[in-house]
C-alpha cells in the first residue's frame, strides 16, 4: 500500500517524539491522570450510573490501589504500541575469536541441590563458547545440603578444565556463592549462568563490543523458555517471560533495565565498586540498583536469545513467586528512599519503584478484593475480557494460540495470588526467610496433605472471607449476586492448585506430557587446567 509522503513524515515525527527517553512514561502518566479524573467525576457526580457496572466499593478501589493496577495495564499494553514505532536497534560488530586483544572472561555458575542433568545445561554451554581457551575461565560454586551429592557435578566440571568449589551453609544465599568466586576470578567481564541456563556459543563475541562504553555496567540477555510445551504450567511461565521481554525492550530507553541474576554479563569493575553482590534474597535486583546508583548504565539485548527451564510443578511455581514477592518487597522498603533521593531520571525511578511494588500490589489487591469488594458476575465478565488483552499481546495477536492459553493463564494467576500476598506479608513484618531452591525440571509430586499445607494462607484467607461475608450479608440472594464474582475467583485460587498438580503429574490437558529438553552434547574441546 502506498503511503503518502505527508503520512510518512507524520509517522516519523511520532516515532521521533515517542522514542526519546521518558516520553513513554510521560504518555502513560498523562493517560492515567485523564482516566482517573474521569473516574473521579463519575464517582462524585453520577454514582448511580456507574454502579450498574461497578459497586461503590469497587469504584473507590479503582481510585486508590486500583490506580497501580491501571498503571501496570497501561505499561504492558503501551509497550506493544511503542515497539510498533520504535526503530530497530543497530547491529553491533561481532569480534573474531582470533583477535589477539580479546579480554579475559570468567563464567560463574552458582549451584545448590541441583540434579546433574539440569546442571549440565549451563556447564556444557560454558565450555561450548566460541572463545580462546586461554582467556576463558569457568568457576562453579556449590552449597548443596549435606544429604545431596554433588560429586558427579564436581567430576564433570573438573574433567573439562573448570574449577569447582563447595561451601557449607546457606548464609548469604546465592549472592554468597558468587562473592566467594570473586577472589579467584581472572576475567574483566563475568558471564553469570544459573544451573538451567543455555547461551549461544558466540554470545561473548557478540556482547563484548557493547562494553566499549566504559559506563556500561551490565547486559541482560533475552531469556526464552526451553520447555514451554511440557505442560500448562510451563506454557504460562513462557507467556509471562514473553511479556517480560516486551517490557525489557522498552526499558532500554524508557526505564530501568532489570538484571535477572543469570543469562547476563557484568563488568567486574562495576561489581567491585558496589562491594560485590548484595546478600539479599533478590540479590540480582539489589546489586543492579547499587550499580545504577553508582553511575553505571545497563542494557537489554533482545537480538541474542538465551534459554532456561520453567518450573513444571505448580508447587515449584508457588515457591518461585513467593521468593520473588518476598525479595522485591524487602527491597522496596529498603531502597525506596535512596532511589527517590538519587540522581536517577524521574521515569527510571517510576519504572523501578513500580516494578518492585508490582508483586506486592498483586498480593495486597488479592486481600482487599476478597475482604472488601463485591464483584457481580457482569463485572467479573468484563474483567476477564480485559484480562485477555495482555495474553493476546504476549502471543503477538495469534488468536487461536492466545485463546488456548487464556483459561489456564487466568486460573493459574488467580491461584498464585494468595502466595504473592503471603510473600508480601512476610516482607512487611520483616521476617527473615530462607532462599528456596526452585526445582525446574520434574520434581517430586506433593501429596494432598502437603499441598494443603503449602497453600494454607490461601485457604485461611478464603475461610475468613466467607465467614465475614456471611456475617455481614444475611440475604442469600444479595450475597450470591454481589459476591459471586469473588466467590468464583476465590474458588479458582483454592481448587486450581490441586487440579494443576494432578494434571502436571500425569498428562497435560493438551496431550501426553513431553520430556524435558536434552542437555547440549559435550564438546571435545577442553579448557586447560586452571
Query: What is the C-alpha to C-alpha distance for residues 57 and 54, in angstroms, rounded to an integer?
Result: 8
- Whole-model pTM: value is 0.82
- Output the tens digit of pLDDT for each of the chain's 530 residues: 454 555 556 567 777 777 788 889 999 999 999 988 888 887 777 766 666 556 666 677 777 777 887 888 888 888 888 877 776 666 777 887 788 789 999 999 998 888 788 888 899 999 999 999 889 999 988 888 777 778 888 888 888 888 888 888 777 788 888 888 888 888 899 999 988 889 999 999 999 999 999 999 999 999 998 888 888 888 888 888 888 888 888 888 888 999 988 999 999 999 999 998 988 888 889 999 999 999 999 999 988 889 888 888 877 888 888 888 888 888 888 889 999 999 999 999 999 998 888 887 777 766 666 655 566 666 666 667 777 777 777 777 777 788 877 877 877 877 787 788 888 888 887 777 776 677 766 555 555 565 566 566 666 766 766 676 667 666 666 666 666 666 666 666 666 666 665 555 544 333 334 444 444 433 333 333 33
Query: What is the C-alpha to C-alpha distance for residues 56 and 373, in angstroms, rounded to an integer?
Result: 9
The CATH class of 105-311 is alpha beta
Look up residue 514 and give its three cell numbers.
513431553
Query: What is the C-alpha to C-alpha distance for residues 265 and 245, in angstroms, rounded to an integer?
Result: 17
Look up residue 265 and give its three cell numbers.
554479563
Q: What confidence score (pLDDT) does residue 267 get?
A: 94
Q: What confidence score (pLDDT) does residue 227 get?
A: 86
Give the residues across from 450 on adjacent strands.
none
- Residue spans per domain, the chain: 7-88, 105-311
Q: What confidence score (pLDDT) does residue 191 get?
A: 95
* DSSP designation for 139: E
Q: What confidence score (pLDDT) does residue 449 get?
A: 61
Q: What confidence score (pLDDT) does residue 321 get?
A: 86
Query: What is the C-alpha to C-alpha distance for residues 363 and 261, in angstroms, rounded to an integer?
Result: 23
Look up residue 64 and give its three cell numbers.
486508590
SS3 content of the chain, % helix, strand, coil (to 5): 60, 10, 30
Q: What confidence score (pLDDT) does residue 513 get?
A: 43
C-alpha distance from residue 408 to each of 256, 331, 503 (Å): 30, 31, 12
Q: What confidence score (pLDDT) does residue 488 get?
A: 66
Query: What is the C-alpha to C-alpha distance for residues 484 and 518, in angstroms, rounded to an integer?
Result: 46
Q: What confidence score (pLDDT) does residue 80 get?
A: 80
DSSP 3-state assignment of 167? coil
Amino acid at each position: 500500500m502506498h503511503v503518502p509522503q505527508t503520512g510518512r513524515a507524520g509517522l516519523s515525527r511520532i516515532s521521533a517524539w515517542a522514542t526519546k527517553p521518558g516520553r513513554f512514561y510521560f504518555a502513560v502518566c498523562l493517560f492515567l491522570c485523564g482516566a482517573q479524573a474521569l473516574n473521579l467525576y463519575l464517582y462524585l457526580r453520577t454514582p448511580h450510573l456507574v454502579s450498574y457496572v461497578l459497586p461503590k466499593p469497587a469504584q473507590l478501589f479503582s481510585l486508590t490501589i486500583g490506580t497501580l493496577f491501571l498503571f501496570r495495564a497501561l505499561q504492558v499494553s503501551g509497550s506493544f504500541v511503542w515497539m510498533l514505532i520504535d526503530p530497530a536497534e543497530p547491529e553491533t560488530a561481532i569480534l573474531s575469536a582470533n583477535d589477539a586483544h580479546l579480554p579475559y572472561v570468567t563464567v560463574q555458575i552458582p549451584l545448590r541441590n541441583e540434579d546433574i542433568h539440569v546442571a549440565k545445561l549451563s556447564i556444557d554451554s560454558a565450555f561450548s563458547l566460541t572463545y580462546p581457551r586461554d582467556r576463558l575461565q569457568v568457576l562453579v560454586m556449590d552449597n548443596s545440603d549435606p544429604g545431596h551429592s554433588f560429586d558427579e557435578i564436581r567430576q564433570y566440571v573438573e574433567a573439562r578444565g573448570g574449577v569447582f568449589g563447595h561451601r557449607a551453609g546457606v548464609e548469604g544465599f546465592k549472592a554468597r556463592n558468587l562473592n566467594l568466586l570473586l577472589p579467584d576470578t581472572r576475567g574483566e567481564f563475568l558471564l553469570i549462568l544459573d544451573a538451567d541456563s543455555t547461551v549461544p556459543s558466540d554470545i561473548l563475541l557478540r556482547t563484548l563490543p557493547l562494553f566499549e562504553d566504559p559506563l556500561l555496567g551490565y547486559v541482560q540477555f533475552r531469556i526464552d523458555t526451553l520447555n514451554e510445551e511440557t505442560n500448562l504450567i510451563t506454557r504460562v511461565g513462557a507467556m509471562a517471560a514473553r511479556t517480560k521481554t516486551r517490557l525489557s525492550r522498552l526499558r532500554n530507553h524508557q526505564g530501568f533495565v532489570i538484571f535477572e541474576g543469570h543469562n547476563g554479563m557484568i563488568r567486574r569493575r562495576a561489581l567491585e565498586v558496589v562491594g560485590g553482590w548484595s546478600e539479599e534474597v533478590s540479590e540480582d535486583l539489589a546489586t543492579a540498583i547499587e550499580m545504577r546508583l553508582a553511575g553505571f548504565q545497563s542494557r537489554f539485548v533482545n537480538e541474542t536469545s538465551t534459554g532456561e527451564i520453567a518450573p513444571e510443578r505448580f508447587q515449584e511455581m508457588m515457591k518461585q513467586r513467593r521468593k520473588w514477592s518476598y525479595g522485591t518487597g524487602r527491597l522496596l522498603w529498603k531502597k525506596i528512599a535512596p532511589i527517590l533521593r538519587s540522581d536517577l531520571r524521574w521515569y527510571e525511578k517510576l519504572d523501578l519503584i513500580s516494578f518492585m511494588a508490582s508483586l506486592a500490589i498483586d498480593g495486597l489487591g488479592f486481600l482487599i478484593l476478597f475482604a472488601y469488594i463485591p464483584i457481580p458476575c457482569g463485572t467479573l465478565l468484563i474483567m476477564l475480557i480485559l484480562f485477555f488483552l495482555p495474553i493476546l499481546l504476549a502471543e503477538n495477536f495469534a488468536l487461536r494460540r492466545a485463546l488456548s492459553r487464556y483459561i489456564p493463564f487466568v486460573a493459574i494467576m488467580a491461584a498464585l495470588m494468595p502466595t504473592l500476598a503471603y510473600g508480601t506479608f512476610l516482607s512487611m513484618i520483616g521476617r527473615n526467610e530462607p532462599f528456596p531452591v526452585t526445582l525446574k525440571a520434574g520434581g517430586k509430586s506433593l501429596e494432598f496433605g502437603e499441598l494443603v499445607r503449602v497453600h494454607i494462607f490461601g485457604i485461611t484467607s478464603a475461610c475468613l472471607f466467607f465467614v465475614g461475608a456471611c456475617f455481614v450479608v444475611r440475604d442469600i440472594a444479595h450475597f450470591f449476586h454481589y459476591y459471586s464474582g469473588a466467590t468464583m475467583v476465590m474458588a479458582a485460587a483454592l481448587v486450581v492448585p490441586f487440579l494443576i498438580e494432578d494434571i502436571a503429574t500425569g498428562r497435560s490437558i493438551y496431550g501426553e506430557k513431553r520430556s524435558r529438553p536434552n542437555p547440549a552434547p559435550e564438546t571435545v574441546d577442553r579448557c586447560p587446567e586452571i
